[in-house]
């Protein structure tokens, strides 16, 4: 029985080194087999599949190993699950990446404000820094302070999820750091009869339509909540 289980579950022996099978391509490409093993073996036992289902965990991890960011800026991420996803990915693939997680100040009321639970899943982890303030303003201020050190940022937009807030954040990022990849959460699109909030989806569409640069989208949208990667061509 032990021999059979080992043949079916070789994940414990996996060495995570590279998941970019071919760098000589124009399209986004990662090793989905290796990344799938990583997601099942390392991520799911730690973060589960809520609020990020398997396909979204795969996109998050794949984006990190593809672009190898020196800094990740994310905000509105509650108890720190997304920051923990990024931390575990960077650690497993031997990447030197700082993670800056931003939440609103404790004095501001918001339905998703974690209060004393803020950043619980990443507190004390090396290379993870917790901030309070406006996500866009704080992340861009931090980016500008790191820019001279060769900062290659990745942004993760996850917060209020209204059309106005997502559009503001995307316009701010793309106008300041047009070459940076951006992950946006809660971007599932469904017909109006569903009653779902399609504000983030529409914000992406309208922002890209007005951009002078050309961007490509990779979206995972079999169902809620959905996630989209934007990257400059």
pLDDT at residue 4 in the model: 37
Backbone angles phi, psi at 182, to 5 degrees: -130, 130
CATH number of domain containing 186: 3.40.50.150
Residue 10 in any domain: the answer is no
pLDDT at residue 18 in the model: 64
Domain count within the chain: 1
Average of pLDDT values for 76-86?
Answer: 89
Residue 2 in any domain: the answer is no
Asked whether residue 11 carries a pLDDT value surpassing 60, the answer given is: no
Average of pLDDT values for 173-183?
Answer: 97
* Among 159, 172, 183, residue whose Cα is nearest residue 211: 172
Average of pLDDT values for 26-46?
Answer: 94
- Give 217-230 pLDDT, tens digit per residue: 999 989 999 999 99
Residue 110 in any domain: the answer is yes
On average, the pLDDT of the chain sits at 88
Backbone angles phi, psi at 107, to 5 degrees: -80, -10
* Among 24, 29, 135, 127, residue whose Cα is nearest residue 83: 127
pLDDT class of 1 with cuts at 50, 70, 90: very low
Can you give the residue range of the structural domain that contains 119?
A: 29-232
- Give 100-134 pLDDT, tens digit per residue: 999 877 766 555 555 566 678 999 999 999 999 99
Average of pLDDT values for 202-224?
Answer: 95
pLDDT at residue 105 in the model: 76
pLDDT at residue 95 in the model: 96
Distances (CA, A) of 74 to 2, 78, 94, 104: 42, 11, 20, 12
Strands (E) across 79-164 are located at: 98-103, 128-132, 153-157
- Give 84-101 pLDDT, tens digit per residue: 999 999 999 999 999 999
Residue 8 in any domain: the answer is no
């Amino acid at each position: 029985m032990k021999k059979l289980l080992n043949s079916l579950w070789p994940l414990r022996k996996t060495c995570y080194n590279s998941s970019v099978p071919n760098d000589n391509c124009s399209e986004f490409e990662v090793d989905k087999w290796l990344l799938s093993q990583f997601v099942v073996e390392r991520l799911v036992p730690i973060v589960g599949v809520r609020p990020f289902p398997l396909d979204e965990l795969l996109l998050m991890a794949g984006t990190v190993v593809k672009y190898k960011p020196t800094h990740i800026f994310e905000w509105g991420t509650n108890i720190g699950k997304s920051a923990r996803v990024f931390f575990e990915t960077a650690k497993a693939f031997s990447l030197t990446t700082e993670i800056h997680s931003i939440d609103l100040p404790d004095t501001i009321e918001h339905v998703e404000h974690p209060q004393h639970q803020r950043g619980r899943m990443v507190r004390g982890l090396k290379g993870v820094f917790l901030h309070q303030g406006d996500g866009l303003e704080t992340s861009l201020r931090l980016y500008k302070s790191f820019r001279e050190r060769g900062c290659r940022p990745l942004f993760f937009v996850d917060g209020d999820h209204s059309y106005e807030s997502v559009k503001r954040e995307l316009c701010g990022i793309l106008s300041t750091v047009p070459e940076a990849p951006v992950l946006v959460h809660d971007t599932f699109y469904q017909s109006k009869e569903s009653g779902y909030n399609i504000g983030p989806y529409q914000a992406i569409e309208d922002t890209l339509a007005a951009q002078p640069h050309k961007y490509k989208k990779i979206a995972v949208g079999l169902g809620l909540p959905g996630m989209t990667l934007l990257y400059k061509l």
